[in-house]
Homo-oligomer: A and B are copies of this chain.
Amino acid sequence: MKRYLSNISLEEGLKKYTNEILSLKKIDTKFIDVDKCLNKITSDAVFAKLSSPFYNCSAMDGVAVKSKLTFMANEQNIITLKEDKDYIEVDTGDPIPKEFDAVIMVEDLLEKKDGQIKIYKPATPWQHIRCLGEDIVETEMIVPSFHKIRPQDIASMISAKADKVKVFKDFKVGIIPTGTELIDRYKTPEIGDIIEFNSKLFEGLILEYGATPVVYPIVEDNYYKIKQSVLLALSECDMVLINAGSSQGREDYTYDIIEELGKVVIHGIAIKPGKPAILGYGQNKPIIGIPGYPVSGWVVMENIVKEVISKLTHKEIEKRNVIRARLTKRIMSSLKYKEFVRVKVGNINNEYVATPIKRGAGTVTSLVHADGVITIPQNIEGIEEGSYVDVQLLNDISKIEKTIVSIGSHDIVMDLINNELTKKTEGKFKLSSTHVGSFQGILSIKKDECHIAPIHLFDVDCETYNKSYVKKYIDEDVSIIKLVNRTQGLIVKKGNPLNIKGIKDLVNIRYINRQKGSGTRVLFDYLLKKENIKKSDIKGYEREELTHMSLAKAIQNDDCDCGLGVYSAAKVFDLDFIPICEEEYDLLIKTEYLELEFIKNLLEVIKDNKFLKNVKSLGGYNTNNTGEIISL
């Protein structure tokens, strides 16, 4: 049964929901040992049970004296004092016996030997003495209630014998993954299985929020079984999250279960992804239904669950850092929803630039590669290229400063460069690659959206690679870093069952293409023209893959029979390969960026023997010119 979902705004929805749950069961408190209370929140103020210091003690190494015996001392009137009778030796921290009331530093003694000292200046009463209670006095408040305990708070409490502290108990959040098709990570996956991983995503986020996650076993799509799991979680936790399987029908169970056990406050929020979230409570505790797609789940966690946990645990949860960046690609957005768009961020020429990445709600790896998130308000239809936007960062800003941004054509070699670069610099520098094809790469260099652009554009007119294309489109002072010559050809199934020998044989098979603007596609169009074959004669010409790897995988999976790609991708998937030509795969760069420290490191990496050896072993690469720099 398809329910009508509300479209309440995130802000109103949160407000309405938190108002209702704040009147639910309060989190319990308990006394714990002081040395176990780091990061916990006090429920009562903590008071000193002992002063610190709890006796007068010496602040210096020296002697403790009776001040009145020293008042007449001066350079003309040296006074001699006798040990035990008039003074005793003290080290810093030693107690001052009652008969003494001042300390003279050892440096201020004219002489100290044979059981007596000579002094030349008076000691004022209580000088160089740390008095009882100088740090804190018995009964004084150390920290108030609702205070998050830090290391120095514990140290102070111990010094003042506040050995038991009343704190709020750990806030437990139960996570229930649901879905008949879900399997845990220990089972060997078969077609139709989905490996369950959302629970680990949520578990990690809940730890970041300062609460305690409790993950329950996967439950199949069965009302009664899910309800049993929810009841168990409610008995053990302070809050429950029910994570749907990936079918739309799932929300029915979650909705009905929460209604049966308590109340659904909100079903459906104007956010994208994440709309079908369910906010409710049962048995006096919050229950939230989180949509099944990982990015939807992540949006709901970061924008709703985090806020709820913060309020119920009385903990300020640190907000993610925000920076201002120039948007490199226009973003379209719906007027119906507040949208959360993942972006990569780079620092190009002292400016932050943000480039949107793929938007599917199922792509958890997009959360790995995203540097940040842009929030587009509900009433906005999109943001134009070149606009300045706020980006909530998912990575340290310092990491972003030290990342080489690459936009352009894809090749396995770029991942190799990234790996060697991070190893060489022990994580100081890294390479971030976005695959949009060679053409976009050139435009991105022009528009200062990246540091380097991998390109392999064949100019059909002069039949050369890269240089002429670049000269056509770019005025700025750029250089080409020679990377590799790589072999392009037809990738086919192992054993080449359709006996494909060349372009002419592509007419009756299922072809798989690369996206418009990619160097590989430009090459394919050129090859078709040379053989006088029309694009419309190639079945599957319109099916596009974004990388050599996904194209090769599709062939291995028998989704299609053949595609133009690089030898290394064929080798990875153990496919057959019919070589067609060698092409130049190079890095385009603004000449001034050659001076940047991380670019210099990159150049060292690609000229290193270890790297060159690894590249050769991938197959189909020629590294004779790797690292040469050509000015244009």
Contact = CB atoms under 8 A, between A and B. Distances in A.
Interface stretch (A136-144, A380-388, A454-462): A136-144
A142 B368 contact: yes
Contacts of A152: 201, 204, 298, 364, 367-368, 394
Contacts of A158: 185, 195-197, 200
Given A133-B550, A145-B422, A150-B394, 4 more contacts: A52-B364, A134-B363, A135-B362, A135-B366
Contact of A34 (B131, B141, B185): B185
A41 interface: yes
Interface string A270-314: 000000000000000000000000100010000000000000001
A246 interface: yes
Interface in A293-341: 294, 298, 314, 316, 318
17 contacts: A45-B415, A93-B247, A124-B542, A132-B557, A140-B415, A140-B549, A141-B415, A144-B418, A144-B422, A144-B430, A145-B422, A146-B426, A146-B430, A151-B200, A151-B208, A155-B197, A158-B196
Q: Oligomeric state, in number of copies?
A: 2
A35 B245 CA distance: 21
A549 B364 contact: no
A94 interface: yes
A144 B197 contact: no
A59 B124 CA distance: 85
Contacts of A540: 125
Nearest to A203: B151
Interface string A436-462: 000000000000000000000000000
B422 A92 contact: no
Contact of A41 (B91, B245, B364, B427): B427
Interface string A79-109: 0000000000001111100100000000000
A61 B150 CA distance: 51
A572 interface: yes
Contacts of A134: 360, 362-363, 550
B195 A423 contact: no
Contacts of A142: 365, 368
B422 A147 contact: yes
Interface stretch (A186-194, A474-482, A595-603, A624-632): A186-194
Contact of A204 (B131, B154, B200, B367): B154
A302 B545 CA distance: 50
Contact of A364 (B135, B137, B144, B366): B135
Contact of A427 (B52, B249, B314, B553): B314
A220 interface: no
Contacts of A135: 360, 362-366
A56 B41 CA distance: 49
Interface string A536-553: 000010110101011001
Nearest to A294: B155
Contacts of A415: 45, 140-141
A34 to B, nearest CB: 7
A623 interface: no
Interface residues of A, number: 116
A579 to B, nearest CB: 21
A121 interface: no
A248 B105 CA distance: 12
A399 to B, nearest CB: 7
Contacts of A399: 316
A398 interface: yes
A465 interface: no
A130 interface: yes
A498 interface: no
A509 to B, nearest CB: 14
A16 to B, nearest CB: 20
A156 interface: yes
B150 A204 contact: yes
Nearest to A572: B139
Interface in A342-376: 360, 362-368
A561 B48 CA distance: 24
B92 A248 contact: yes
**Residue from the set A196, A200, A205 with the largest chain B CB neighbour count within 10 Å:** A200
A156 B52 contact: no
A542 B334 CA distance: 75
A181 interface: yes
Interface string A167-205: 000000000000001000100010110111110111111
B427 A156 contact: no
A144 to B, nearest CB: 4
A430 B418 CA distance: 49
Nearest to A141: B415
Contacts of A94: 181, 192
A398 B201 CA distance: 28
A145 B427 contact: yes
Contacts of A265: none
Contacts of A194: 93
Contact of A195 (B154, B159, B398, B425): B159
Contacts of A196: 158
A51 interface: yes
A467 interface: no
Interface centre among A93, A152, A207 (most CB of B within 10 A): A152
A396 B114 CA distance: 57
B419 A145 contact: yes
Contacts of A159: 195, 197, 364-365
A253 interface: no
Interface string A57-87: 0010100000000000000000000000000
